[in-house]
A and B are shown apart, each in its own frame.
Chain A
Amino acid sequence: MSSHRDIRRLLYDFAAGQLEHHRHTLVERHLEGCAECREECTELRAMLKRLPAESNPSADLPTAFWQELLNDVSARLPVRPKRRIIPAWIFDWLEFISIPRHQAIIGAATVLVLVAIISGMWFAFRHEPVHKHIAAATPVGTKPPAPAVNTRLKAYLRKSKVLLVGLNNMPLEEGTAVDLSLERTTSRALLHEARYLKDQPLDERSAALISDLEKIQIALANSREREDIPGLRLIRGGIQEENLLFKIRIAETVFTRLEDETQHADQ
């Protein structure tokens, strides 16, 4: 047991001082000639020294660092509008409208202005689709948005699985080309859906899975209608390298469980 790969496996135990004598010597000898392992060993030793922590290393940083960091945080926090002192003309205006004769004039003027605004808005927006309107910058209702995204995510995963299972089981014959027209079209639609989903509130596992799937979908979307076998093998390799079908199945199982829990909670 002395290859570079074998020694790398012993590095953690070596750094933790848990190797028996002869293996310890073996690793020591290897480290003399291997800069990569030496570097990793140094790193590991440094990490292990801190676990469990005896001091707070972050506290050793200069005060200036933390000050700069806090300034950075402050700069990123949303700026609240400054409170303004009520100007004197507002009081004059309030005094003016308190006279009954003036109130009638103001009432009539207000009705006219409102009619003008409503008509203007109707003309301005009658051809615009509703979805382009920014409805509100404040919460809508009292409940958080419904988990519609889960339904779309599940559908996205199901379609991706169909695509990947189909590709994985496609018979390959050397020297021939494979028709990937359906796969190309489906991948393009899935890429579009992935872009939508990535803008939704997702947990980090789902987000990572979508990113992994996107790579395959991009490769397929850009493939030729009749792809040669090496090209297809490359795509299949990507699916297997990332173990994507396993990840999709696990995600589906987890979603099923979540749905089941939600249903039970509702009941």
Chain B
Amino acid sequence: MLTNRLVVALLMGCLLPVAGAVAELPAPSHPPAMSAPGTGEADDPAYALYRDGYHSILEEHWGEARKFFAELRHRFPGSRYRDDAEYWTAFSWKQEDPAKARDAYERFIRERSGSTYFGDAVADLRMLEIEAALADAPQPPPSGAPTGYEIRIRLPEELRRIARDMEHIARAQSMTLHRNLMVLREGDTLLAKAPPASMRLRLFSPDADDPELQIRINALDAMIAGKRDETAFKVLQDIALDGRQPVPIRHVALNSLTEFPQKDPGAVFLAVANRDTNETIQRIAIELFAASNRSRGDRTERLMDMFRRFEKSAPRREGALSTTLYALATIGDDRAIDFIVHIARSSTNQPLRSDAIYYLGNIGTDRARQALFRIVRGEY
């Protein structure tokens, strides 16, 4: 219960002493950080230490990084790089000791709510809690419906769907590669030459053993690989819209429409997303529309309208609602964030509220950060 923890922490308002004695510093493993005279960097004597620490983080030398940042905090407690040192220290613990990381992140969130790293810290802490929750699985079912902003640790259902989807695709590809392709050996590692991106989806078909289906997928593949003209686009469009076609074929057709740079498949995606009776296809179309080449504003507004339409539809399309919310979060522009905040504040659908807060915590822009902070403080 992240939000509860945060609220409690904020109410307590206690300041914990910064832990960690300053140990002997390691020699930097790179040339000294360059500071130009007259720049902001040169004005702050902590800058070189910050860059050394950050370099160690980039190199994933976690212990070394912590030493640089501890030195920075000790020698320059008022430095503008203090937030950086605190955040990256917590981040380094996240890779090595989740309990210490949790303490460090909670302290950061409590003490440095105005920091530009606030959203990043919230997202990292959320991730730690999810990892802990997964490690302790199976979780007991929640007793009764949660109230207010009490949101239990819950991975959005949408991400579970994506995880399943990714696993299927990766497994199908791995098997296909294993069966058919040349394998290169590098030491003990097998390097399989993967197909080009355009073929990836075509390899994924739950009915891959159906020869009839396979030949049609091959036909689609041949068509995309050939001339990408008006006729090919129209055929794909027809197949995508044809509810009688098998789902894998429609999936491939929908996805292939994005491979025509001169064409805008937005109208097809919109029509399928809004109206299709097959939920799998509908959700694919929603995601594809969100990732299309249309402007962010256009995508955001269409998806918001779609969400409202799904909310009113009877029976309510829960899967489509959840995917639309996720799609809006992936766009993450200001209007999308405002909309997600609105759902987090006032939706009567508790899982969607939880998802909305989860997404806000992961977007990390100033707007999302401020919204999250206001939710935490109960200002909404």
Contact = CB atoms under 8 A, between A and B. Distances in A.
Given A5-B301, A130-B185, A198-B197, A140 B190 contact: yes
Interface in A178-203: 178-179, 181-182, 186, 198-203
Contact of A169 (B84, B177, B272): B84
B33 A179 contact: yes
A159 B190 CA distance: 23
Interface residues of A, number: 88
Interface string B330-346: 11100000000000000
B267 A40 contact: yes
Interface in B163-215: 163, 165-167, 169-171, 173-175, 177-179, 182-187, 189-194, 197, 200-201, 215
A76 B225 contact: yes
Nearest to B184: A134
A17 B131 CA distance: 48
A256 to B, nearest CB: 6
Contacts of A87: none
B127 A253 contact: yes
Size category of the B interface is 35 or more
A29 B287 CA distance: 32
A156 interface: no
B364 A246 contact: yes
A186 B58 contact: yes
Given A58-B235, A257-B160, 12 more contacts: A47-B272, A73-B219, A73-B222, A177-B39, A181-B33, A182-B33, A198-B197, A202-B173, A204-B169, A246-B359, A254-B162, A257-B159
16 contacts: A8-B301, A12-B302, A40-B267, A44-B271, A51-B275, A137-B182, A162-B58, A166-B57, A169-B116, A173-B39, A182-B58, A201-B170, A205-B162, A211-B197, A245-B362, A249-B123
Nearest to A142: B178
B111 interface: no
Contacts, number: 256
Nearest to A131: B186
B72 to A, nearest CB: 15
A69 B219 contact: yes
B130 A253 contact: yes
Given A47-B268, A65-B231, A200 B162 contact: no
A77 B185 contact: no
A243 B183 contact: no
Interface stretch (B143-151, B241-249, B317-325, B371-379): B241-249
B162 A159 contact: no
Contact of A47 (B167, B222, B241): B241
Given A44-B271, A179-B35, A243-B330, A58 B238 contact: yes
Main secondary structure, interface of A, reads helix
Q: Which of A134, A199, A247, A257 has the most CB atoms of chain B within a 10 A radius of its CB? A: A257
B55 interface: yes
B120 interface: yes
Given A145-B192, A246-B332, A53 B243 contact: yes
B267 A44 contact: yes
Contacts of A77: 218
B13 interface: no
A12 B40 contact: no
A166 B134 CA distance: 28
Interface stretch (B1-9, B96-104, B291-299): B291-299
B364 A257 contact: no
Contacts of A76: 218, 221-222, 225
B159 A73 contact: no
B270 interface: yes
